[in-house]
Amino acid sequence: MSDVVFQTKGLCKRFPGVMALDDVAMDLKKGSIHALLGENGAGKSTLIKIVTGIHKPDGGTLFLDGAPLVLHGPRDAIAKGIGVVHQERNLIPRFSISENMFLEKLDSHPLKRIDYQELHRQARHWLEMLGLDADPAIPVEKLSVARMQLVEIAKALALKSHVLLLDEPTASLTPHETDNLFAVLNRLRDDGVSMIFVSHKLEEVQEICDRVTVLRDGKNACESQPMEGLGRQDIVKLMIGRSEQIPNWQARDRTGNPPVLELKNITTAIGHRAVDLSVHKGEIVGLYGLVGAGRTELAKSILGKYLVTAGEVLVDQHIAAISNVADAVGRYKIGYVSEDRKTEGLVLMHSVLENVGMTVWQRLAKGVAFLTNRAIRTQTLPFINKLEVKAPSLDQLVGNLSGGNQQKVSVAKWLAAGVKILIVDEPSVGIDIKTKTYLHELIRELSDEGTAILLITSDMPEMITLADRIVVMNDYRVMGELANCREYSAMSQGIMNLIHEAVEVDMSPVQATP
């Protein structure tokens, strides 16, 4: 037991309407890289926030070197030896590498001259250890993303961190840079550094980690198991659970219906290449892919937020000229339920009625001279009721509602708008099981009524529950498509194969050109 550096026991965290963490345990050994896995909404990010001192747990304890640890904020966590390399860069862009690393230590006296030579000398020591060949005097903004990341690791190490938490460190790295990073991490592990490695990419986790903790629905799906003996399929199974959640709905084939939305060989300004896609009347097409595959970006390109530079977008079999989102919504009746409902989906400081009404104001104002609350209410209330939005009144600010109710509001707004095409992006992130089931039934019902739905989700059971066809994307390209036979293991296997092929295709040219 003595080689356990960091441990959590019985961690609980409750948010309004959701139990984000329920009795979660993990332990981190000295000289080990420990994978922390889980789908979106599994509680992974809540656990990270507790470990880094942003959230306080409602129950349970953290232990560092066997002693209980109470963290008072992120600063305290760092001071107590928990180093973090966040997804977003936490460096001061115009400062030099060494200054970023030792900002902490400059505090001795505000008016004592900084000895840059000494700082550079100390920084060089750590940079050499990480194999980062860079002059410590150059500003970090001149570095590539991969190198900035190494600087952050160096910074954490220089601060004598006991535990190093790496949150999606490879998200923006090329395969070659990833290999470099892994070589560094392996070396650190051999030197006795303990790391928690958070990633969506299972290949990487299997390659580098020696133990693994998986979260599902806020609970341990497995606790600190050795990676050895766990296959890729086993991990996927742990992450997404069994197929029993899938309701026994009829498989449907709607490809006979006329297509409502078609993408023909489109290229976008943000990097999509040769994307073909069609959604038919009354059909739900799922768009599956790992984080960073370009699904949300494709949705926003369809909406006209990003430029489509080549190819054709057809709505109702006519070429659609969508130059901005207003066109997409107003003229072509395309709605988008954002994955980021707090900043993109809803206006948190406005009321329920304002939010649901946002999409109908223009239309209502055309008929009547005055846009009254009563008119908006008449127009939107059926949908608010249909979705069973629970709020004390329609004047309640959306920011005060629970996650599930917020999501209902952001869907209700598109029902009120009467869209023909609805793009739904990660509909069940941060909402409770009951609301989730309810939303699934609603989406199915909508499609039965003729709405064409494009569903983006990383939640495999959700995908298999809802989609009629599943299109798999990777690296801003479509890898292939599958008809949903509604059989869990076959489908997840099929999807995984498509993604896996993609990864192999990706890797080969890189290896060819070292």
Partner 1 sequence: MNSQLANYRESDWFGPLLITVAAIVIVSVFNPEFLSPYNLQILLLAIAVNALIALSQMMIIAIGQMNLSVGAIGGLAAISFGGMMEVWLIPWPVAALLALGIGLFAGIANGVLVAWTGISAFVITLASLSIFKGINLGITEAQPFYKIPEIVKLLGNETFLGPLPWLILPTVVVAVGLWYLLSFLPLGRFILAVGGNAHSAELSGISVAKTVVAAHAISGLLAAMAGIMLVGRLQLGQPTIGDDWLILSFAAPVIGGAVLTGGKVSVAGTLLGVTIVVIINQVLVLFNIDPFLVQVVLGGLILWAVGVNRWREVRAQKTEKRLAA
Partner 2 sequence: MNNTTKAADRTADAFGPDVQETSSQHPAMRLLLTNEFGLIALILVFAVLFTLLNPGFVSKFSLFAMGRTAAVNIMIGFSMMVVIITGGLNLSVGSIGVCAAMAAGWLMQSLGLPWYLSLVGGLGVGGALGALNGIVIVRSGLHSFIITLASMSIFFGVMIFLTHAGSFREIAPEVVAPGRMKFFGVISPLLLITFVVAGLLSVLFRFTATGRQMLAVGASPQAAELSGIRVQRMTVWCHALSGVLAGVAGLMLVSRTGAAIPSMAGQLGQDWLLPAFLGPVLGGTLLTGGRASVLGTLLGAFLVTMLTTGLLLLQIAAFWVQTYLGLLLLVAVLMDLLRRSYLARKKLV
Q: What does the binding site for partner 1 look like in residue numbers (CB under 8 A)?
A: 74-75, 78-79, 90-95, 99, 103-104, 106-114, 116, 144-145, 172, 271
Distance in Å, CB of 86 to partner 2, minimum: 22
- Token look-up 């739905």 returns 453
**Of 223, 196, 221, 210, which is closest to residue 49 (Cα–Cα)?**
196
CA dihedral 37, 43, 48, 49 (to 10 degrees): 170
The helix (H) or strand (E) run that includes residue 463 is: helix 460-466
Distance in Å, CB of 480 to partner 1, minimum: 24
* Strand residue runs (E) in 362-468: 421-425, 452-456
SS3 154: helix
Distance in Å, CB of 155 to partner 1, minimum: 9
Q: Give the β-pairing of 452-456 and 318-319.
A: unpaired
Nearest-angstrom CA–CA distance, 120 and 136: 6
Q: Which is nearer to partner 1, 131 or 271 (CB)?
A: 271
Q: Give the β-pairing of 452-456 and 275-280.
A: unpaired
Quick check: 404 binds partner 2 (CB under 8 A)?
no
Distance in Å, CB of 342 to partner 1, minimum: 18
Q: Which is nearer to partner 2, 16 or 93 (CB)?
A: 16
Is residue 141 within 8 Å of 194, Cβ to Cβ? Answer: no
Q: Which is nearer to partner 1, 91 or 352 (CB)?
A: 91
Q: Which is nearer to partner 1, 94 or 390 (CB)?
A: 94
Quick check: 196 binds partner 2 (CB under 8 A)?
no
Residues in 283-322 that interact with partner 2 by CB under 8 A? 303, 305
* Largest pairwise CA distance in the chain: 77
Q: What would the two tokens of residue 386 be?
A: 């249909």
Residues in the interface with partner 2 (CB under 8 A) total 52
Strand order through the sheet with 334-337: 334-337, 421-425, 452-456, 284-288, 469-474, 477-483
By a kind-dependent CB cut-off of 5 to 8 A, residue 226 interacts, out of partner 2, partner 1, none, with none
Quick check: 92 binds partner 2 (CB under 8 A)?
no
- Token look-up 């509602």 returns 401
Quick check: 385 binds partner 2 (CB under 8 A)?
yes
By a kind-dependent CB cut-off of 5 to 8 A, residue 136 interacts, out of partner 1, partner 2, none, with none
Distance in Å, CB of 152 to partner 1, minimum: 10
Residue type, 279: V
Residues in the chain: 514
Q: Which is nearer to partner 2, 113 or 374 (CB)?
A: 374
Quick check: 323 binds partner 2 (CB under 8 A)?
no
Quick check: 274 binds partner 2 (CB under 8 A)?
no
By a kind-dependent CB cut-off of 5 to 8 A, residue 232 interacts, out of partner 2, partner 1, none, with none
Is residue 173 within 8 Å of 146, Cβ to Cβ? Answer: yes
Q: What would the two tokens of residue 50 be?
A: 């507790």
Quick check: 435 binds partner 2 (CB under 8 A)?
no
Q: Which is nearer to partner 2, 76 or 297 (CB)?
A: 297
- With CB under 8 A as the contact rule, the residue among 338, 447, 457, 492 that binds partner 2 is 338
By a kind-dependent CB cut-off of 5 to 8 A, residue 358 interacts, out of partner 2, partner 1, none, with partner 2
User: N- to C-terminal Cα distance for the chain?
Assistant: 43
